Amino acid sequence: VGRKTYPLPELFLVMATQNPIEQEGTYPLPEAQLDRFLMHVEIDYPDAQSELEILKLNRGEAICEAKKKVSEISQADIFAAREQVLKIHMAPAIEKYIVDLIMATRQPEKYDDQLKQWLAYGASPRATIALDRCARARAWLHGRDFVGPEDVQAVFHNVLRHRVLLTYQAEAEGITTNQLLDHLLSLVAIS
């Protein structure tokens, strides 16, 4: 912070939130800083059951149970899970698919005139790494020892949403980043 460096533990997490309603007093982050976030996850309002759980948790009825569940997971467990995720098998065809998706953001003219008209800037190599890691994590969370194309596609929007920029033309047409990413997914084939 400033000119002072603070050591962080080996296990740490940084999260940031955005409030889409009120932007006063906040400033958009530069693209270079946004690219350092692993994902940009869009979260809608909770359903009624989740809202009830939030209410109970906030009143303190579930604090003891929540603490118990969290305390059962050690740092060693998290590091072991991370190692397992990185060892999940990814076939060369899936690796190529990931690279092809990222390259389509950088060279949209090779895929489609519409994509070229909508995409101002493509994703960096960090996006390739993030897409690989998140697809592996999804496969692991689903109990599989291999990554499938559905894993890549399931995390694609969250990984790339903040890493690509729309052209002014796309914005003027009312195109959203999610629509651009949907279109891109429809163009890039799994080889």
pLDDT over threshold 80, residue 190: yes
pLDDT at residue 147, rounded to an integer: 98
Burial 43-61 (b: 16+ CB within 10 A, else e): eeeeeeeeeeeeeeeeeee
pLDDT at residue 161, rounded to an integer: 94
DSSP 8-state class, residue 110: G
User: Looking at residues 112-123, what average pLDDT do you find?
Assistant: 94
pLDDT-based confidence at 25, cuts 50/70/90? low
Query: Considering only 50-54, 114-118, 160-164, which range has the smallest mean pLDDT?
Result: 50-54
pLDDT at residue 64, rounded to an integer: 64
Q: 119-171 pLDDT, tens per residue?
A: 999 999 999 999 999 999 999 999 999 999 999 999 999 999 999 999 999 99
Side-chain half-sphere CA neighbours of 174 within 13 A: 0
pLDDT at residue 8, rounded to an integer: 86
Identify each DSSP E strand in 8-123 by its residue range. Answer: 119-121
- The alpha carbon of residue 77 and the mean position of all alpha carbons in its chain are separated, in whole angstroms, by 23
Q: How far apart are CA 106 and CA 184, in angstroms?
A: 11
Query: Considering only 16-20, 39-43, 184-188, which range has the smallest mean pLDDT?
Result: 16-20
pLDDT at residue 65, rounded to an integer: 60
Q: How far apart are CA 53 and CA 68, in angstroms?
A: 17
pLDDT at residue 74, rounded to an integer: 85
Q: How far apart are CA 157 and CA 114, in angstroms?
A: 19
Contact of 38 with 82, CB cutoff 8 Å: no
DSSP 8-state class, residue 60: T
